[in-house]
Amino acid sequence: MFPRGAYKALRLERSAVIMSAVRFSQSVIEHNRNRYPEARWPTSSAYRLPLRDDSVDACFSMYVLDHLVCPEKILDEMLRVTKKGGHAILLFPDFLRPGRFVSQQAGFGFGTAKEKLKQGTLPDTVVTFYDNRLRFPKMLKRLKRRIGGFTVHLQPACLYYPNMAHPDFDAVYIASKAEVMNWAIRQGYGVYLPKGVQGLFKDHAFVVI
């Protein structure tokens, strides 16, 4: 579940760690195998990790959770392969707390209220701000009461604007730090935030289960 190049940032002493990094993209796997031959690079779905129960000390997911239609399933899978006393470590954007619905169309077209204000489209700016801060959060609360948590959006912006590059345009799970933490606590796990909730981690989650 590692993006290209993420292994380098996480590399520990080679003698002290045996690492498996799962990707479904064969081209990325081949690239990483060539760069980091000391690690194992199986090709697999994140929903069924090619690892035995209780077989790893730590299972790490970096900016994967928000791209999954079934986020709860991968959380279960990460914890399945993690030993008792080990850790499931997650990094993902927290869309819900700051009201950042970047893969949904707000207003009359895709883009943030700040971007639209710079373009001088005041009516679109106002409607976008209203959608992100009031309409979308209220709609999500109704959905969660009706169908439960881990709400996903099946029509992300990338389907309509395939040539537009924008962070998280392809996100489907409306990721929430509080939701993931509350889920883990309900399952009986301990949870902590190594970097707290300030600075970068105000709008991004670094959660250890």
Q: At what angle do helices 71-81 and 177-186 cross, to 10 degrees?
A: 50
11 and 55 both lie in a single domain: yes
**pLDDT level of residue 207 (50, 70, 90 thresholds):** very high
Side-chain-side CA neighbours of residue 167 (13 Å)? 8
Are 125 and 102 part of one and the same domain?
yes
- Whether residues 83 and 179 fall in one domain: yes
Residue 1 lies in a domain: no
Structure tokens at 130: 């209203």
pTM: 0.78
Same domain, 82 and 133: no
Q: Which domain holds residue 155?
A: 98-173
Q: Counting Cβ atoms within 10 Å, is residue 28 exposed (0-12), middle (13-18) or buried (19+)?
A: middle
The verdict on 44 and 15 lying in the same domain is: yes
- Total structural domains within the chain: 2
Q: What CATH number should be reported for the domain holding residue 13?
A: 3.40.50.150
What is the structure's pLDDT at 45?
80
Tally of CB atoms within 10 A around 118 = 11
Is residue 178 included in any domain, yes or no?
Answer: yes
The predicted-structure confidence for 87-144, as pLDDT tens digits, reads as follows 999 999 988 776 677 788 887 887 778 888 888 888 888 888 888 788 888 877 787 7
pLDDT digits (tens, 9 = 90+) for 129-183: 888 788 888 877 787 777 778 888 888 888 887 777 777 888 898 888 999 999 9
Are residues 118 and 178 both part of a single domain? no
